[in-house]
Each structure stands twice: as C-alpha cells, then as structure tokens.
Amino acid sequence: MTIAEQRTETPSTPALSHNTRKIKGQAHAWYPYSACGKTCTTRVHDESRESGSAIAARLAGLARLPLYIGAGAAAVALPQRGRSAMGPKIARRFLRSFGVEVVVDAPVRATEALRQEGVLIAVNHHTWWDVFVLASIAPVRFIARDDLAAIPLLGDVIARMGTIFIDRTSLRTLPTVVADAAETMRDGHNVVAFPEATTWCGEAHGRFRPAIFQAALDSGAPVLPVHIEYRNARGERTAAAAFIGKDTVLSSVWNMLSGRCKTVHVRLYPPLRSGVNAPGRRQDLAAVTHRVIFGDDGERDHG
C-alpha cells in the first residue's frame, strides 16, 4: 500500500490555527494542526526576564550574527568531514549569542548511531529554533515546511543545509519527500523529521504522522527518538521559544534575547531498528517512537 493510498490522518479539530494557516491555498483534511495558542504564550510573559543591561549586551553580541550565518553557509559547501567538524560548532555559537546553552543526555548506543550517520532522527517539535538545536549536536539534514525558506537570512542557511522542504498543503508531494529522505539516508546523512508535522508548546503534544517513517523502512535506516525541552532560568519547562498561536519570528527572537529561555535539554534514546527492536510497519514504528519520546500513545492536551 502506498503513502497516498493510506490516509488515516484526519485531525479531530478542523479549525485552523497559526500552525494550520493557509500557506499556499486551501488546507486539506489531513493538514497539520495544533491545540496550542495564546494561552500557552501568555504564561511566558509572566516569567521573569534578565536586566536591561544583560539584554543590551546580548544585542551587542548579535552584531556577530551575520558572521555565523555566513560561516554556516560556507560550512555547507565543505566536504563531509569539514561539515561534521564545523556545522555543530557554528550552531552552538549561534545559540550562545542568544544566551542559550544546549544540554545533551545520550546513551552510548545513540551517539554511536549518530557517528555512523544515515539515521532518521524523530523529534518533538516546538519552534524553528529546533533546527539550530539539533544542528548543534551532529551533522544533520532536515525535513521542514517550505515557508521556513522565506525567513530573512536564516532561511537561506536552512536551505543550504540540504533541507528537504515539504509543501504541507499538498499531499501529492509527500511520496517524493519520503523518497528523497530515504535516498539521503542511503547516502550516509542523518535526516531530522518532526512527525507531529507542526509546533506544540511542550505541555501539550501531537500524535506522530507515520508517513515519514516509511523512509527509514525503505532505506534500512534506524530511527533515533529524540526529545527536546526548553527551560527557563529556574530550570522549568517554558514555551518561550515556541512558535505557536500568533507568534512571529521577531517575538520568538525577543523571548530568547530577554532570557526567558536559558537551556535546551535534548534527550537521545537508543535507536529503533525494524525487525530487531521495532516493528516493520510505518504506523507501528511511528507509535513505538511516540511512546519512547512521550510515554503515551497519542495526542496530549494542556492541563
């Protein structure tokens, strides 16, 4: 059965939020949606932020931002070994310019899988910042929505990273995206996918769409489950970095600059291999991966 033939992804909520806004035309019945919105981001503005002098110092540090963007674009043109060395370093420096540190918790089997390359990294999705967080850990390529390419300056870097763009308004493009991802992994590159297909605040999360897991099955690549959590200065989970509701890129950047997010905790789990410790159907593989990351079997709402 092909991807196009099996369409069991009907969302329970037809309303269109920021995360399901029309990008190029009428949204289809399987268009990604999120339950997150204004109530999630309202709590963020109640959190303390750093002093004006600290924010000013960080703004001054952002004068180096064009250098990081230029270096990132140049690193993509390097041979594989050069990208492996430079890419994560540039991403870490980029995040530090916003006062954000990435903390990684990974078992040996997970780090070995990343070093061997050619894995499907399945991760929960909060924001466009996720791209730079994951790029700071290992050389990766992304499956990302095509409107990210329109972000000034950063969109060009995301495109140059070998990103596989997906038009979420058209189901007909999905088989091509799956095939491109499988080929990329066969060539030895790690591919990052966000199976929720849209962003959530972190308190709530979506279910995983199974289509992209077909790329792992077709290429024989393992699936590496990864969980991302953004935390404030008190070490509590925060939606400060989230790109939800009516958030804009500028409001997301300001939340980072103001110190409302201090660390990003990234948990890598042991890889799942079809026929070894994971099932061989994409629907089942998606469900198992979701259970590893979230500890449950489906969508979780707020509260």
* pLDDT reported for residue 4: 36
Q: Kindly state whether residue 31 falls inside one of the protein's structural domains.
A: no
* pLDDT reported for residue 210: 94
Structure tokens at 13: 């909520």
Where does residue 259 rank: exposed (0-12), middle (13-18), buried (19+ CB within 10 A)?
A: buried
Q: How far apart are CA 41 and CA 111, in angstroms?
A: 34
* pLDDT reported for residue 202: 78
pLDDT tens figures, 179-235: 999 999 999 999 999 999 888 877 888 889 999 999 999 999 999 999 999 998 889
* pLDDT reported for residue 80: 56
For the domain that residue 150 is a member of, what is the CATH number?
A: 3.40.1130
Total number of domains in the chain: 1
* pLDDT reported for residue 282: 96
Q: How far apart are CA 32 and CA 171, in angstroms?
A: 11
Q: Kindly state whether residue 279 falls inside one of the protein's structural domains.
A: yes
Q: Kindly state whether residue 303 falls inside one of the protein's structural domains.
A: no
Q: Is the pTM of this model over 0.85?
A: no
* Residue 103, CB-side half-sphere exposure with 13 Å CA sphere: 9
Q: Kindly state whether residue 93 falls inside one of the protein's structural domains.
A: yes
Q: Kindly state whether residue 162 falls inside one of the protein's structural domains.
A: yes
Q: Kindly state whether residue 106 falls inside one of the protein's structural domains.
A: yes
Which residue range forms the structural domain that includes residue 112? Answer: 37-294
Q: At what angle do helices 65-76 and 80-96 cross, to 10 degrees?
A: 160
In the three-class reduction of DSSP (H, G, I as helix; E, B as strand; rest coil), residue 244 is classed as: coil
Q: Kindly state whether residue 123 falls inside one of the protein's structural domains.
A: yes
pLDDT in tens, the chain (303 residues): 334 333 333 333 333 334 444 444 445 555 666 767 666 655 555 555 555 666 666 666 666 665 655 655 566 555 555 555 667 888 898 888 888 999 999 999 999 998 887 999 999 999 889 999 999 999 899 998 888 778 777 777 777 778 899 887 777 888 999 999 999 999 999 999 999 988 887 788 888 999 999 999 999 999 999 999 999 888 988 888 888 777 777 888 887 877 778 899 999 999 999 999 999 999 999 999 999 999 887 677 665
Q: Kindly state whether residue 23 falls inside one of the protein's structural domains.
A: no
